[in-house]
Structure 1
Amino acid sequence: MAFRFNFSIDEIEHSEAATPDEVDAQRCTPKRKQESTEKSKQTAGTVADSSPRLGAGEGRDETPPEKKFCFKAAKEHKIPEDLNKVLENKVLETLSGLYYVNMSVVEMMCVHGADAEGIVSKSVSSRSDLIPGVYEGGLKIWECTFDLIDYFSEAEIHFANKTVLDLGCGAGLLGIVALRGKAEKVHFQDYNSTVIDEITLPNVVANCINEGSRMGSGDHRKTSKPPLKRPKKAECSPDALTKCRFFSGEWSKVSELLLSSNEPFLKYDIILTSETIYNPDYYSALHDTLAQLLDKNGRVYLASKVLYFGVGGGIYLFEKFIEEKNVFRSSIVKTIDKGLQRCIMEIAFKDSS
């Protein structure tokens, strides 16, 4: 259903710069040197794509030179008054009662001019699902998202009257589940503005205007119905969409935007995040963001693969990072052994109740 790029992140070229209005030029950090070793590629099944999140380095003896990349500044995306335009030219599919836009259709639209960032063309030319500092994978739905959705039901996680952040949201399915669980507020963040405008926001709108549909049982990885055209008239419940805010940009910049706002900001009771710890270079920014935005008695629910080949991140490395920082306590609350091993982690402040 989507483009498939099975090449190593080591093969990414950084010749194309992001547009000036989306990049904070002062926020540039060196990408850590990584030795490329030959490993077997692992297949991770997803809704949007059957390729692994990160390929392994292949046939490279030399250590790549240290590289620098710039992080995008934060931006809030307003919900358009005309909701029909949000779903214009989108094809909707359903997945266990959740609506989401067909990713391949979005990618084709991006190729033909709907993508101001140019992330689709850059992904094609770079032959990769990820380009650090440029595109961070939000055009695909990764399988750990469904692990976390399953866990919500199994652990009876309640969202009613909670403030929730879907961090690194991509399609926004985690936040949509929280919204349907009667959360008081749900905020969505993704690195790329194109992802928010063309995928996240349309998915949220589609699920609000189709409120009669509820999550059901069954295989999350298969569409339960044929593709659906958008509704002719969008009559969204005001209560649902007024609970939502949408942000793009790098984590620390989004934190700054929220914390420096003149509007009162309540920290989040629950932060949801899936497959965001693939790159150890980002651990410090992620940890600091969680520390700044999580309520003192809040919880983080994080889904991840045990190891991301090629870059070296994974659940146990992040767990060690958390221990060394000595701010949070963490526990692995579920392990999924089916296919490539995956885990669910719960994180809370050490002094929380």
Structure 2
Amino acid sequence: MSYDFPLRKIIHVDMDAFYASVEQLDRPELRGKPVAVGGGSKRGVVSAASYEARKYGVRSAMSGYIAKQNCPDLIFVKPRFDRYREISLQIRAIFFEYTDLVEPLSLDEAYLDVTTNKKGNPSATLIAKEIRQRIFDELGLTASAGISINKFIAKVASDYNKPNGQKTVNPEEVIQFLEDLEIRKFYGVGKVTAEKMYKLGIFTGKELKERSLEYLQDTFGKSGSYYYQVVRGIHTSEVKPHRIPKSVGAERTFSENLSSEVFMLEKLEQIAVELERRLKKNRLAGKTITLKIKYSDFRLQTRSKTLPYFVSDKNLILDTTKELLYQENLQNSVRLLGISLANLNTEKKKTEPKEDSVSIQLKFDF
């Protein structure tokens, strides 16, 4: 068997319950106990949960109130993002000892391309094992990893043997791995899409693979092409060391629900000020302004408008945001508002990479 595109050796490293693990690292009295980073009030939200808490169904983005109901002994701690960033930079420093091709996705996960690496080690599997061991020895934290021929498969694989484990999907195993994979485990298939696929009789990669490109495009729009490609092991996105942000935003959750647009204007002005600060700090501007509204029943709504020019000034952003706010009536009282700016001045015209047309045989040591 052969592939008609260059194969790479990609590692996806994902820290285990990162925020909660850092808290347990710094506070020994929390070790072995159910810990949630975030707020435990009715308005609070869980940012991260330790594995002890996850046994009780506590998950990130869950209401703190519900989390406490699920786990009465749950211990809430306030997030310390400066500390998380500090440790994240130490972890990245380890990554860079192996390769300069490091693409952070967040504070707690990153892709590494080790096809050619600084250690001269031909085995991506052994490199991943060594990196995980160093993170544990030097920082006292555990990490999981996925290793394969592209970013998509590596990311899916990193979730397989969590926590503190790793999985390698060798080139000759890719197709079978994807055919056997439950559809909800495909990166890019969210809860809503998974439910839609279930109704269409698509439960595994094999059943997804049986659907034609035209069918998937008609059913899922642009995402259809993505599903058609990845289920065949095709994902040519390179590891990009310097990720350019696609959007910048700011949002705020309120201690009391807001029931009228009049009460929201002051809050939106504060959010616009913060957004302007972030934009100017990074020398960014954008054309597409999006207003995010989360209602008291947790329904989420977004309203967007694209301007013919780039903006970063808070007053210009606020003018459009007000227009979006009054675009239609509110559906309920509001617990969260956010403003984001996309279609940034950093985006360049995308060109399809020219792939090597020579078939590369699967003599690839992982």
Q: TM-score, normalised by structure 2?
A: 0.28
Q: TM-score, normalised by structure 1?
A: 0.29
Greater helix proportion: 2
Structure number with greater CO (CA < 8 Å, separation at least 6) is 1
Bigger radius of gyration among the two: 2
